[in-house]
Amino acid sequence: MNRLAIVALALVTLGIVINAQNLTPSSVKLAFTGENSEIRVTWFTFKESKQPYVQYSTEYIQDPNTSSEEDVTFVKAESHAFLTIGWHGIPHNSILSGLADGTTYYYAVGDKEASQWSQVYNFTTRVLSNNDQVSGPFAFAVYGDMGSVKNNVTVANLIPRVDSLDFIMHVGDIAYADLTDKSFIGGNETVWNIFLQSVECLTSQIPYMTCPGNHDIMVDLAIYRKTFNMPTENEFDTYYSFDYRGVHFVGISSESDYFPLSPQHIWLENDLKTYRESNPNGWVIAYAHRPIYCSTQWGWCYKSLIREKFQEYIEDIFYKYNVDLFLAGHAHDYERSLPVYQNQVMNDYSDPKATIHMVIGTGGNEEGEDHDWLSAPSWSTGIRSSDTGFGQVTIINATTILFEFIDNQSNTVLDSQYINKGTFN
């Protein structure tokens, strides 16, 4: 089936109606805000909503159209239209605050004045009250390079796992909405919207944390930033950090400036320095789209001066501040490293002396997988796979992590590794 046929079929099956008068909410997503007791809710409408609201309650919402202030809490959203020629519609952004630990919340999004609401969704909070200490075990899924054409198996395999996951991490190349010369009908925005709808069954239930990839930088990242509202320090940043259940997560942008004295480089060092001053032994997990280490027979992995500069500018900071794990995509395959610094193996998983690197660019995308490998470097270990799938990271406690790669075809664990907490210097 050719690409246009796939797009046409997806438009019908997903019910995406290209209608300038449409107030129907779509692309409902959750995300962390950086505050313990908050969750961000975002969605999209083609038409401007005069009163965009989220309504939520700890009791099931029988009919969002008849809810009152006595039944639910209403929270108004902010709305910011795409300012890009050819991109239509309005993203909406709201924050639910004062959430309690271990509680299921039911919610709907929509227009209060028009009484046009989404279906009722729900999410369950975990331990929110103390992010300074590991409150495990907990798990999250991770993948990159997904797109909207070949992601159905990954999504199908994740659906039954959602209740056991605290969130999903998508490390860039989100929808591949930059491959046509059109924006709207049959073009890039259509591809973008199809992807967002295809993962709504996941993103409406657990937070979906992202970083941008090279296929997400269209219109100077404006579309990405308005769609995925991450806990950045300002609206123009594409890098951020958050603490969750005793782990410090750091999302950086391999698509923005990262050279010394750039805003991102300064921010990254300050962020890690501040965290380590108050928590010298805590887990730190960083992620970006492009990997530092990979051995795919592909330009980025073995002959890229840009990759060498990325390694030069970022790896020393990771080593200095004891970043335990770095998750990336870009190469369309799965690979894990031993602890490695400046291309040298630094002990093993029982007592790591440098960052461990994982490549999980296996979400399933129309460009296909990378099937050719270089001879395995000394730092590359375990199974190298070109199959689609996703990673699952389980924080067992303050001293042990379990990493697993789930192969899509068999829907079973293809590779797994326990990792102990290490001290680098």
Tell me: the pLDDT tens digits for 142-196?
999 998 888 899 999 999 999 999 999 999 999 998 876 655 556 788 889 999 9
- Are the C-beta atoms of residues 184 and 369 closer than 8 Å to each other? no
Can you give the pLDDT at residue 5? 42
Of 121, 332, 346, 138, nearest in space to 246 by CA: 138
Flag whether pLDDT at 11 surpasses 60. Answer: no
What domains are there in the chain, each with its CATH number?
Answer: 26-125 (2.60.40.380), 138-420 (3.60.21.10)
CA distance 9 to 143: 25
CA distance 111 to 175: 27
Q: How confident is the model at residue 13 (pLDDT cuts 50, 70, 90)?
A: very low
Flag whether pLDDT at 27 surpasses 50. Answer: yes
Tokens of 38: 């908050």
User: Per-residue pLDDT tens for 208-263?
Assistant: 999 999 999 987 889 999 999 999 999 899 999 999 999 999 999 999 999 999 99
| Percentage of residues in the chain having pLDDT higher than 70 | 92
Q: How many Cα atoms sit within 13 Å of 129 on the Cβ side?
A: 4
Can you give the pLDDT at residue 127? 76
Average pLDDT over residues 15-40: 81
How far from 367 is each of 136, 147, 184, 241, 299, CA to CA, in Å? Answer: 37, 9, 21, 30, 15
User: Per-residue pLDDT tens for 267-308?
Assistant: 999 999 999 999 999 999 999 999 999 999 988 998 889 999
Task: List the beta bridge partners of residue 76.
Answer: 53
Can you give the pLDDT at residue 130? 65
Please, is 144 exposed, middle or buried when counting C-beta atoms within 10 Å of its C-beta (0-12, 13-18, 19+)?
buried
CA distance 37 to 39: 7
For the entire predicted model, the pTM comes to: 0.93
Can you give the pLDDT at residue 102? 92
Q: How many residues does the chain have?
A: 425
Tokens of 66: 């008849």
Radius of gyration of the chain (CA): 21
